[in-house]
Amino acid sequence: MLEPHDFQKNALLGLLPEDELGRLMPHFEEVTLTLGQSLCESGQHMHHVYFPLDSIVSLLCVMENGASTESAVVGYEGVVGVSLFMGGETTPSRAIVQSAGKALRLKGQLLKNEFYRAGPMQRLLLRYTQALLTQMAQTAVCNRHHNLDQQLCRWLLLSLDRLQGNELIMTQELIANMLGVRREGGTEAAGKLQRAGLIAYHRGHIHVLDRQGLEERVCECYSVVKDEYDRLLNHHNVM
């Protein structure tokens, strides 16, 4: 049986009043997400929604030719499966585990029932979805206007914010896929950051050595997204 403090590890669930959460608590189960696992295939029905704890999930747009790009990232601050309560049931995006870890999952129907009570859970999920909208819009503009170096910084910082440590288990090939560029492009950008002493990587492990250095190089897109999440999902504003 899960303890109340387990739920605090997900920021959304942590914002819920106790009695609201109490109603759903018995129905949650903790699952372990493994790197590369798919939580949602394009156009397929999901059976659960996932509230990441220390795992990170990427929402990917996959194209006909197989190329893909991350449109948003979801960690402890969010939930995977907004299409369930938004009413569409499916989405053209894929959801892939980008960093292994734990998540709490709930049967889709149970979340929908709770959502349609039109109470705190609904308010919370809608505010979160708006944050997701912002992240996607900003990703679109970033893909257009900023160079790979800056985008890599943005990606690292967004990931770092969703991890407890400062190490990412991630090959340059995977990062490049997320950013929608060649593996070689990712290698070159990562090499620059390593030579600048901001990160150190080795065969699929990336250590962030100088977070502030990354923040100095990153484009504004990072803070636009972060500030909007903070505003929308701040305890004072939401309840």
Partner DNA sequence: AACGTTATGTGCGGTAGCGTACAGAGATTA
Partner DNA sequence: TAATCTCTGTACGCTACCGCACATAACGTT
Contact partner at residue 171 from DNA, its own copies, none, CB < 5 to 8 Å by partner kind: DNA
CA gap 90, 4 in Å, rounded:
31
Contact partner at residue 182 from its own copies, DNA, none, CB < 5 to 8 Å by partner kind: DNA
DSSP 209: S
- 190 belongs to the binding site for DNA (CB under 7 A): yes
- 202 belongs to the binding site for DNA (CB under 7 A): yes
- 188 belongs to the binding site for DNA (CB under 7 A): yes
Chain residues that interact with its own copies, rule: CB under 8 A = 59, 61, 63-64, 67-69, 71-72, 82-83, 85-88, 91-93, 116, 118, 122-123, 126-127, 129-134, 136-141, 143-145, 180-181, 220, 224, 228, 231-232, 238
The H or E element spanning position 177 is: helix 172-179
**What is the CA angle 80-180-196, rounded to 5?**
105
- Residue 127 or 162 with smaller CB distance to its own copies: 127
- Residue 24 or 96 with smaller CB distance to DNA: 96
Closest alpha carbon to 194 in 174, 224, 165, 217: 217
Q: Would you say 109 and 71 are in contact if contact means Cβ atoms under 8 Å apart?
A: no
- Residue 33 or 72 with smaller CB distance to its own copies: 72
Among 9, 112, 123, 183, the residue binding DNA under the rule CB under 7 A is 183
- 191 belongs to the binding site for DNA (CB under 7 A): yes
Q: Would you say 51 and 105 are in contact if contact means Cβ atoms under 8 Å apart?
A: yes
Closest alpha carbon to 164 in 231, 101, 81, 213: 101
DSSP 80: B
- Residue 89 or 210 with smaller CB distance to DNA: 210
